[in-house]
């Protein structure tokens, strides 16, 4: 959806290592916004996005040029398949791909018959996955995501599609859709990119403002506390999630004791310990399967804001940590 940050760019970088040609889609998809959500104010930074992508593409080209120069003896040794471009570098299988296109369609292109505001249309639904976790708070969200991704996949026909781990439920749903509808593409998940204090990068972080931003890593901290329990051998739901919940409770109390001009309030939407494929909550983690820890919190509007402290809307943050199988 544009408003590109280092997380998006890391996906493009990963794609460049594994492909010859990359298409970046930039489209703020109305279908995945609920009526009370932030479609109108979602950050749109088209010029900046293009500049970042052009710089990145330039970086790929320079890396390729350097590699060609420094390893002349490898020329011709690599396996040249018909799918690799030979024009950029003779070191075909080692060279980075290029950003061949930015696909930024209009809504008329993406929704040719009925506007995405209609209750009617052609939809891809993935149930019950789409109604759990994020879907409980955002009932139309994943229908919008699955539908627009199906369209994008059909238009671009990519060998591989790249999604960020940060939106874990999205990755599970897209993988399921691709499997169920036999879409001929591989779904690749890139790791969550984080700020120095651990906050997962998100285009919506800019909404936080000065007062809330330093407190925003509470979600990942809570998830890390839960992760530690698992790494120490705890498998029961209560043993894993209890300490995370306690941390959030104590942070909330700490803030409540501050004056209105200083405090930051938040609501926990959910903290989940769920199966990796079904996203159903688990009571005991199966060590051979692992699980996914995820959470969503709503940073509430700040009280008595001062100049520059940001605006008054709630900001919803999500994050997750994969608990890998330990056996």
Closer to its own copies at the Cβ: 121 or 198? 121
Of 43, 28, 3, which Cα lies nearest the Cα of 313? 43
Pairing of strands 98-103, 21-25: parallel
Q: How far is the CB of 289 from its own copies (least distance, A)?
A: 16
Sign of the four-CA dihedral 127, 129, 130, 136: positive
| Active-site residue, selected from the candidate residues 8, 138, 151, 212 | 8
Name residue 281's beta-bridge partners. Answer: 274
Confirm or reject binding of residue 101 to its own copies (CB under 8 A). Answer: no
Locate 2 and state its tokens. Answer: 């544009």
How many residues touch its own copies (CB under 8 A)?
29
Count other C-beta atoms under 10 Å from residue 42's C-beta. 17
Q: How far is the CB of 290 from its own copies (least distance, A)?
A: 19
How far apart, in whole angstroms, are the C-alpha atoms of residue 272 and residue 280? 9
Judge contact between 64 and 89, C-beta under 8 A: yes
Q: Which of 151, 211, 234, 263 binds its own copies (CB under 8 A)?
A: 151
Confirm or reject binding of residue 113 to its own copies (CB under 8 A). Answer: yes
Q: Which of 184, 259, 308, 327 binds its own copies (CB under 8 A)?
A: 184
Q: Which of 157, 231, 258, 284 binds its own copies (CB under 8 A)?
A: 157
Q: Given the rule CB under 8 A, which of 78-86, 106-114, 202-210, 228-236 is the region that contacts its own copies?
A: 106-114
Q: How far is the CB of 276 from its own copies (least distance, A)?
A: 13
Confirm or reject binding of residue 171 to its own copies (CB under 8 A). Answer: no
* Consecutive H or E run containing 23: strand 21-25
Torsion of CA 169, 172, 175, 176, to 10 degrees: -110
5 is catalytic: no
Footprint (CB under 8 A) of its own copies, residues 118-147: 119-128, 146-147
Name residue 25's beta-bridge partners. Answer: 103
Q: How far is the CB of 152 from its own copies (least distance, A)?
A: 8
Footprint (CB under 8 A) of its own copies, residues 216-255: none
Count other C-beta atoms under 10 Å from residue 32's C-beta. 22
Of 269, 268, 264, which Cα lies nearest the Cα of 300? 264
Q: How far is the CB of 233 from its own copies (least distance, A)?
A: 32
Confirm or reject binding of residue 90 to its own copies (CB under 8 A). Answer: no
Query: Is it true that the peptide bond before 128 is cis, omega within 30 degrees of 0?
Result: yes
Closer to its own copies at the Cβ: 120 or 257? 120
According to DSSP, residue 130 is labeled G
Locate 150 and state its tokens. Answer: 């199906």
Residue 201 buriedness (CB in 10 A; 0-12 / 13-18 / 19+): middle
Confirm or reject binding of residue 106 to its own copies (CB under 8 A). Answer: no
Q: How far is the CB of 113 from its own copies (least distance, A)?
A: 6
Here's the x/- map for its own copies, 26-65, by CB under 8 A: it reads as ----------------------------------------
Catalytic residues: 8
- Which positions lie near its own copies, rule CB under 8 A? 111-114, 119-128, 146-147, 150-151, 154-155, 157, 176-177, 179-184
């Amino acid at each position: 959806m544009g408003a590109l940050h280092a997380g998006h760019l890391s996906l493009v970088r990963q794609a460049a290592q594994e492909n010859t040609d990359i298409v970046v889609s930039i489209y703020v998809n109305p279908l995945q916004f609920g009526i009370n959500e932030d479609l109108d104010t979602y950050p749109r930074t088209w010029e900046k996005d293009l500049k970042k992508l052009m710089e990145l593409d330039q970086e790929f080209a320079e890396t390729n040029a350097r590699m060609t120069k420094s390893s002349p003896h490898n020329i011709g040794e690599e396996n040249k398949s018909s799918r690799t471009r030979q024009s950029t570098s003779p070191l075909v299988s080692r060279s980075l791909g290029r950003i061949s296109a930015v696909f930024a369609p209009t809504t008329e292109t993406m929704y040719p018959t009925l506007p995405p505001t209609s209750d009617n249309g052609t939809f891809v639904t993935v149930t019950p996955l789409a109604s759990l976790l994020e879907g409980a708070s955002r009932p139309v969200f994943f229908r919008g995501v699955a539908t627009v991704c199906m369209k994008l996949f059909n238009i671009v026909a990519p060998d591989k599609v790249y999604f960020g781990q940060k939106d874990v439920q999205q990755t599970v749903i897209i993988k399921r859709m691709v499997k169920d509808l036999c879409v001929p593409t591989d779904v690749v998940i890139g790791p969550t990119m984080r700020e120095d204090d651990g906050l997962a990068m998100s285009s919506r972080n800019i909404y936080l403002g000065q007062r809330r931003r330093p407190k925003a890593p509470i979600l990942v901290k809570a998830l890390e506390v839960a992760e530690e329990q698992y790494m120490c051998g705890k498998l029961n739901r209560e043993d894993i999630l209890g300490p995370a919940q306690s941390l959030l409770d104590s942070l909330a109390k700490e803030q409540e004791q501050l004056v209105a001009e200083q405090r930051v309030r938040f609501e926990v939407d959910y903290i989940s310990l769920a199966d990796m494929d079904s996203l159903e909550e688990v009571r005991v983690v199966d060590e051979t399967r692992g699980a996914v820890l995820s959470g969503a919190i709503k940073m509430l509007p700040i009280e008595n804001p001062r100049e520059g402290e940001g605006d008054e809307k709630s900001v919803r943050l999500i994050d997750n940590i994969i608990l890998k199988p330990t056996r």
